[in-house]
Every structure is written in structure tokens, then in C-alpha cells.
Structure 1
Amino acid sequence: MGHDVLLEMKNICKEFPGVKALDNVSLTVRRGTVHALMGENGAGKSTLMKCLFGMYAKNSGSIYLEGKEINFKSSKEALDNGVAMVHQELNQALKRNVMDNIWLGRYPKIGGVMVNEKKIYNDTKALFEELEVEVDPRRIMSTMPVSQRQMVEIAKAVSFNSKVIVFDEPTSSLTEEEVEHLFKIINMLRDRGVGIIYISHKMAEILRISDDITVMRDGTWVATRPASEMTMDEIIRLMVGRELTSQFPPKTNKPGEVSLEVDNLTAQYSLLKDVSFKVRKGEIVGLAGLDGSGRTETLENIFGVATRKSGTIKLNGKECFNRNSRESIKNGFALLTEERRATGIFGILNIRENTVISSLKKHKKKGIYLSEKSMRVDTQWSIDAMRTKTPTQETKIRSLSGGNQQKVILGRWLLTEPEVLLLDEPTRGIDVGAKYEIYQLILDLANKGKVVMVVSSEMPELLGICDRILVMSGGRLAGEVDAQNTTQEEIMTLAAKYV
């Protein structure tokens, strides 16, 4: 490698219990270039970056910055050594103003107070002028839109004289104009010799801004090539490129008559617009699309946890208003959320409490007491059906692995005996064995004539378990395909339709 190598990650391995998250991954970033890091969700991109920043300790491999071996123990240490990250989830002190967020911890304090307000203000102003960022340094962070907060984060990285800056999905919440501004800043940083790692799903963007592209798949390195030699189809082939084996149970469900009808679903606070479709009893319908395409929003609007602007939902010919989750559960709907740690599990409660919490009505005796015995029976059913690995029903749910937490929540919803099961990334972060069991459960439900809708970022999963796949793009329905007679390429092409 030439002298222009800035950052080199060599043969990085990272294992979590039962999962090899990174298997010998290498990445070389040259000075003054934009290096795109691509791969499906779960390919290991974020894990690799977390190893760079010391958020995860790698199991083996080495990292060199300007030829010197580094081993950061925290993202602060990384920042101090010139390696910065602009996150999707911005970690900012929202109650403080802009300049505090940029200089926090770097100016001497007297008596615990920030020193020389004026100097800090002028330094911030100068930094913003250089980047053509129009933000008032005294503005409180929480009062600004995400795009401006992101600019503050970039300015902060620049103020540390960072040599390497990682951008993680930086445009997912930006308008076209803001994207143009971001690219201008990235090109300016590149011209100064900064090495930029750019993680994104958006192909057109990647091809426009990158010098080099590295593709990862299933925790391994697949290819690194000059962007000028790559096409969208080529990237898709590298990202996807695997043959499907029997990771899925045989399809036994036989769809019947139409059961769920959704008409012109439009959301109040997201880009979801005019989505209409029908699902039959016993049918498994997938929702495909890139992050931010409106897949999750579709489920949330049906279930009434997101605000609908307009549209109607009918189940077996009867209109369901589903104004909130309680009403939706009563109408026979269940939603398994993707963010299960935040919205799905009650971490301080045990397995039994987490299992029966949505179906307590069934366990009421004489309308007041909850029957221990019937709750125990249902919980045992759930543990057995899901093959949940837990010492006892009294174990606190947060001590289980992600896959087992997922099974508890799936069990919780099945006990409400829903007619319509909405699943958002039901197998994210789960090992292959547990995935198969969850697929089997989904099929069993379809065999009982239930309506099942599945959002997944893993195409093979959708192709393996669904009858039909609806493809979302930019908040709209871009098309639908028959899961048995389609290709990943066809789905990807539809997914890019309105991006």
C-alpha cells in the first residue's frame, strides 16, 4: 500500500455469544478520499466502526492510524486522536447551546464555569463560517432540526482536526438541499486530506460521492473497488450474492379470501402517502424497502401507534378505527416492534409478566383477581412453543439474549389471539437456529388462517417465508411482487423507485 494510507483495519474479528459478527474484515482508507462502506442491515458495518471507536473490544486483528497501531478504549479517546464519527443517533447535550456542545470539556474552567464566553463564541463563529454553516452558536440544541444538529456534529469533528471522519447514514433525515450542502462539506474535507468513511444504503449517493467502495456481507469482507468501476447492479450483486439453502421451513399455508383491506393510508407525521393493499386469510405478506422507505410506518399506522391523516382499514369487511394500541388489540391486531428494547420489553419485569401483559383479560377471575395458575399455564405454553431458553418464568427478561427476548414478546402477542399479526424485523439480531423457529411459528399462524405482515431488511427472509412482497419506496408503494417468482434485483430496483 502507498504512503497515502491513513487508516488501516486488518483482519478484524468480533464475536458475541453464538454469533461471529465480524470474520477477518479489513478496510483501508486513503488520505483525502471518501470510502463508502456498504452492505445489507446486519452485514457488520456498524460493528466494524464500533471496534474502531473502542465501543466494542475486537477479539483479534489490528488497527493502524498513519502507520501507528492504535487501540482506542472509548470514542472520546478516538476523538482526541483525530478519529470522529457523525452518528445517525446524535449524542448531544440537548439542553445546552451549540458552542457548549462543540467545546465541552476542552476549555479550561474556573470554578466550574466555562471560561471566556467571547472567545468560545468567536471560535465557533469562525468554524461555522469556514463550513458555511448558518447556525447561531448560542442557540439551544433541542430547538434545532436534526439537519442543523448534524451540521454541529460535523463542525465538532472538524474542530478536533480529525484525520478520519465516519458518516453513518448521514442523509437519512435530510432534504435534497441539505444533502447538497453536506456533500459540499464532505468534498471540502476530502480536499484537505481527511479520510472519510461513508455508510449509506443510497446507491446513487454512494456512486456520486465515493472514491472507493467496500462491500460487506454477513460479517465478512466481500470486495473493495474504485467507485468509478462500480454500477448499482454490481453493488447489489455483491451485497446480496448468496444462494438460499433450507434456512426456511417448507411453505404449507394456503391463502383464502381477502381479510385485511387497507385503503389510501396516509400518515400525519411521516412521508407515508396513499398506501393501499389487501391481504388474504392465511397469507404472509412481506414489506420490503430501504431504511426510511415507510415500511415500519405502514405497520404503525395500521396499529394506531402513529397518527393517521387519512385512510381506512377494514378487517373481514368491518371498518376498524384502531385509534390507539388498546383499541387495535381489541379489534384483533398485534404489533411486534423492531425497537424491542425501547418499546417491547418491560426490562424490570420477569418472563411471566412480560408474557401475559397484553392478555390479562383472559386471566381475570371474577373480574378482579389475576389467576396465577392460568398465567403460569400460558407462560409455559409460550416458553415451550418458542423454545425460549430461560432458567425460570421468574427470570428478569433483560437477562435473556436478544433472540430469547424476541421470543417472549412474540409469545405475548400470540396469546392475545390476534387475527392480524404485524411483525417489524421479527428476526433482527437473532441467530439462525432461533430464526427457523420463529419462521415456523409465522407459518403455523398462517395455517390457522391469520393475516401476517412482515417488515424485514433481509431479502432472503422475505423470499423464504412470504407469499407476496409489497415494496415501499419514499413513503409510497412502489409495486408488489410474487415472492416465489421474483429476484432480489427486481425488489431492489423497485425499492429505489422514489428514493
Structure 2
Amino acid sequence: MSSLLKLENICKRYPGVQALKAINLQVERGEIHALLGENGAGKSTLMKILGGVEHQDEGQILIDGQVQQFATYRDAIAAGIGIVFQEFSLIPYLTAVENIFLGHELSNRFGLLRKREMVEAAEALFKRLGVSIDLQCAVKHLSVAEQQFVEIAKALALDARLLVLDEPTATLTPSEAELLFEIMRELKRQGVAVIFISHHLEEIFQVCDRISVLRDGGNVGVTDVADSDIDRLVEMMVGRRLQSSFAPKPTKARGPLLLEVKDIQLVRNGPHNSFQLHKGEILGFAGLVGSGRTELALGMMGALPSVSKEVWLRGEKVTLDDPAQALAHGIGLLPESRKSEGLITDFSIRENISLNNLPKYQNASGLIDKAKECASVENLMRQLSIKAPSGESRVFNLSGGNQQKVVIARWINHQCDVLVFDEPTRGIDVGAKAQIYTLMRSLTEQGYAIIMISSELPEIIGMCDRVAVFHKGAIVKVLEASAVNPQEVMRHATGGSSEYVH
């Protein structure tokens, strides 16, 4: 019996770039197949070709042994391929049922919608998935996990036999991710094949059968999960063995006090919090999702309102009522959602880096000195190892790791010495993560101070000099370097301690 999917010698070229080099991929019925590779390895381009969004220059797609020509996404859907991209394609004001049947609604001979049948069909789909959600609720009111389940149900409603999940757990809690994995296992039992793309390598060993690895647009190899381990996968992805992703922590004493936040209260009757940040250190904000880590940082900067707060910066009391004031005082934010909040992706690297600091490049006539601006941007690109043909490259075309570096470059360009990094490695691959970690440590060695908000416990442990642990909106414990370990962080994050930091 032939494989469900075969991609044979798929090549794709863009001007000046060979994106895919004779890629081969084979997926069997009822198989969960991991597709791994660093950002820029070619995974997304390959999946766009499979989905009919892009077209290969050479090679062929075979479904059930038959050569397919996908001119559009509709052609791929008709062949039984469903793709759930990182950016959902749901209409927020429509209900789950309306989204599932959008474009192929059930109607009678008079053109009237058979709403009851659509609801019943949607209920049957979710019963098949083993989950329950409010199908009559506008999807904008659903959780991210529930929206993802609607996307999966949309694909199944179109009789998808092969489901592509692109970074599906990036914004899920551990319990939501486990529910997704159970849905994947159930689909596998029903004979549906899944291509699973994830940067969280530990997830691969929880749910996948085989793994294909891409590097620089080419095949590296295929392996059974049972025959591999994380170290081997990392070496296949980046072409070298990473001894440790984390740069060594400094052994010298921390620098002088740079930022002190006293008695900050975000909502009435809410907890009062205080914390300090020293020059040259990385202070971690750890806690479960929803514990208030990001909210406190944004409240400190004036991006969220606060009932009360007192902020001292470089020994002076300052007023931070909005992000512009924070920026003027040298506080920069790398937000959790870099694409929607941190960057203008249609702009060039140069425009994004210079965005908040154009007066720096004005000449005596008040006009922008383009040569001076370009030289400054090129220097920052070299300093931060931003990989791109030039400063005029659109940010949209950069990998996730390089996009993060562009945001960091902007704040360095603005001479910010306090940097708030919110989930700085979310959605980027292991090689790029190691680069971001090295860059962060390099910045602290230059005197910058960093607040690092992260849901990934290993990077909190590996990167932070001290850790403020949050529980229900309160900093319940600040762990010094010697006490920063997984057990202590989780004990306080889950409310297992009665300690409270006022």
C-alpha cells in the first residue's frame, strides 16, 4: 500500500535564495510525523507548497500514490489536507459553528441555512475530538486552546486525512497542550495523519512516531522517535552539538542598584509588590500563566494603569505614566508578541531600528541624514549578528530569532539600559535560542539590566541571577542565585509557601 503523502525532490527558489533543495518527505496513514528545523530551514515554505499557497519549481506531490497539482489552498483541501497555521484564520465575531462551516454552509433547496444540522455536525466533530466547548459563542471569547480546536474541527469538517499543526502549543498552558496531544492521539487512532511542527523538542517524544529534520532548505535525515534523543535532534538541526544553551552566569558580585519599584498596586484590593533590579543582572519573573508577571512589568512602565507605585531609577524618583515616559528614562520592552506589538513587519530593518530615535539622525536642516542612519544600523546588525542581506530587508522575511534581535537593536540604539524581555524565545528554534541567551548575557556584561519574563522553567533557571516568583498577582518570593532551582520556583509558584514579599 502506498504512503498517504510523498513529497519528492521539492525545490523552491526566490530571487537570490534557494529556499528548498530537493526535499523528500513521506507520511503514513495514522502517523504523527514531526517536522523539525531551525527558523529559516524551510519548514514553512514546504508546508505552504503542500497547502497550495506556494508552488514548487521542481518536484511533485503524491497523495495515495497519485500526483497532485495544487494551484490553490482549495485544491489541497479537496485532496484531504488541512493546515492549522500559527496565525489562526478564524473570524472573531462569528460563532464556532459559523467558522467551522464558513464557505461550505449546509443549506436547503431554497438557499436557507440548515442551522440545526450544522450545530449537530459540529457537536459530532467535537465529540470525535473528545472535547467540549460553547459552539454558539463568538470565537473571540474562546481561549487560545479552544480556538485551536475550532481550527482542527474546520479541517476535519472538510474530510482532512492529513492535518498539519504549525507550532500548535506555542501559546498553550501545559494542561491545554496535553489535551491537544490527546486529540492528536485520537486522530491517529482514527487513521488521520498529522505533521507536527514544534520548537519544544520534549513534546516530540510525547506524541510523535517519526521525525524528519531540515537544515538550510535540505533534508538532514529521518529517524524513529524511539531511536533518537534531544541532543541528537539538536545536532541534526543546527549542524553541531550544543554543549549548553545557556551562557555562564557571572561570578562577580552584582552591580549597583539601577531600578527600584516600591509598593506597586495594579488594582484596588490587589496585592502590593516591590522589587529591585541591579546593573548587570538578569532578574527573572517566574510563575504560572496568569500569575501577573507581564501585568506587573507593564504597570511599572505605565503601559497598564496602576492604583499606586513608586519608581526609583538611577537613584532618582521618576514618573512613569505611559510607555513614552519609560522610553525617555531608558526602559525598553521586547513584548511577548513581537509581530503585532514589537515590530512593523512591512518596514525594513533600518526603519524598525530607527523608529523611536529619528532625531538622532537629523542634520542641521532637520532632515534625516540617511548615510549616518544606515551606518548606525549596519553597526548594530553586526553587533547583534542579525542575519539579513542588508538593513533594507523587510522584517517580515526574517526568522523569529532575527526579529527579536531587531527589537533589541532598537532599544540599544535608543540607549535604553533597562530592558524588559517578555517571553524572549517563544516561537524560535534551539539554535536561535542559544544566540538570544548569549546576547542577553553579553548585554549584562556591558552594564545593561534585564527583567526576563518566561514560562519556560529551564531558561529561568539557566539564565537568571535572581528570580521573583509570582502567585495570584503577588511576588511571593525572590530567590537568590544559590536557591534558584526548579523545586523552589515551582513550590512558590503553585502557592506551596506562605511567604509573601511586600
Normalising by structure 2, we get a TM-score of: 0.66
CA–CA distance in 2 between the matches of 1:60 and 1:456? 42
- Separation (CA, whole Å) in 1 of partners of 2:199 and 2:291: 11
The answer for the alignment partner of 1:26 in structure 2 is 24
2:46 is aligned with what amino acid? L
Q: Which of the numbers 385, 404, 420 marks the counterpart of 2:418?
A: 420
Aligned CA RMSD, in angstroms, stands at 6.1
Closer, same or farther: CA 314–222 of 1 in aligned 2, 3 Å: farther
Aligned counterpart, 2:93: 95
CA distance in 1 between counterparts of 2:452 and 2:323 reads 18
Conserved 8 A contact 1:262-1:311: no
What does residue 126 of structure 2 align with?
A: 128
Pick from 216, 229, 236 the counterpart of residue 231 of structure 2.
Answer: 236
Amino acid at match of 1:214: I
Structure 1 residue 352: Cα displacement: 8.6
Equivalents in 1 of 2:264, 2:69: separation in Å?
48
- CA shift, 1:67, in A, is 0.9
Partner of 1:463: none
The DSSP-based 3-state class of the residue aligned with 1:36 is: strand
The match for 2:159 is 161
- Secondary structure of 2:211 counterpart: strand
Counterpart CA distance in 2 for 1:374 and 1:45 is: 39
Q: CA deviation at 1:102?
A: 1.6
Q: Distance in 1 between matches of 2:215 and 2:369?
A: 39
Q: Structure 1 pair 338/110, CA: closer, same or farther in 2 (3 Å)?
A: same
- Return the alpha-carbon distance in structure 2 between the equivalents of residues 172 and 400 of structure 1: 19
Q: Which of 186, 189, 194 is the matching residue for 1:188?
A: 186
Q: Does 1:55 align with 2:82?
A: no
2:215 equivalent to 1:218: yes
| 1:92 shift after superposition | 0.7
Match of 2:373 in 1: 379
Does the 8 Å contact 2:80/2:158 carry over to 1? yes
Aligned-partner residue type, residue 30 of structure 1:
E
- Change in Cα spacing, 1:345 to 1:181, as seen in structure 2 (3 Å) is closer
Change (3 A) 1:377 1:154: closer
CA contact (8 A) 2:129 2:187 kept: no
Q: Say if 1:26 and 1:221, in contact at 8 Å, map to a contact too.
A: no
Q: CA deviation at 1:75?
A: 2.8
> For residue 237 of structure 1, what is the amino acid of its counterpart?
R
Matched residues, percent identical? Answer: 31
3-state SS in 1 of match to 2:26: strand
Question: Residues 48-73 of structure 1: CA distance to partner in whole angstroms, max 9, x if unpaired?
Answer: 32232122333443322111122423
CA distance in 2, matches of 1:175, 1:309: 29
* Shift in Å, 1:496: 12
Alignment of 1:333-344 (within 5 A): 333-336=331-334, 341-344=339-342
State the match for 2:497 in structure 1. Answer: none
One-letter identity of the residue aligned with 1:77:
D
Q: Which moves more between the two structures, 121-130 or 472-481?
A: 472-481
- Name the CA shift for 1:133/1:44 in 2 (closer, same or farther; >3 Å): same
Contact 2:20/2:46 (8 A) holds in 1: yes
Residue equivalent to 2:460: none
Q: In structure 2, what residue type is equivalent to 1:218?
A: R
SS at match of 2:56: coil
Q: Which is worse superposed, 195-204 or 296-305?
A: 296-305
Letter in 1 for 2:332: A
Q: Secondary structure at the match of 2:333?
A: strand
Q: How far 1:101 sits from its partner (Å)?
A: 1.4
CA distance in 2, matches of 1:145, 1:163: 26
Structure 2 counterpart SS, 1:58: coil
Instruction: Please say if residues 215 and 235 of structure 1, whose CA atoms lie closer than 8 Å, have aligned partners that are also in contact.
Output: no
Q: Does structure 1 retain, via aligned residues, the 8 Å contact 2:311–2:319?
A: yes
| Distance in structure 1 (CA, Å) of the matches to 2:403 and 2:356 | 15
Whether contact under 8 Å (2:265, 2:273) holds in the other structure is no
Amino acid at match of 1:225: D
Q: Could you tell me whether the CA contact under 8 Å between 2:262 and 2:274 is conserved in 1?
A: yes
Distance 1:309 1:5 in 2: 61
| TM-score normalized by the length of structure 1 | 0.66
Q: How many residues align?
A: 469
Aligned residue identity for 1:216: V
Moved more, 370-379 or 181-190: 370-379
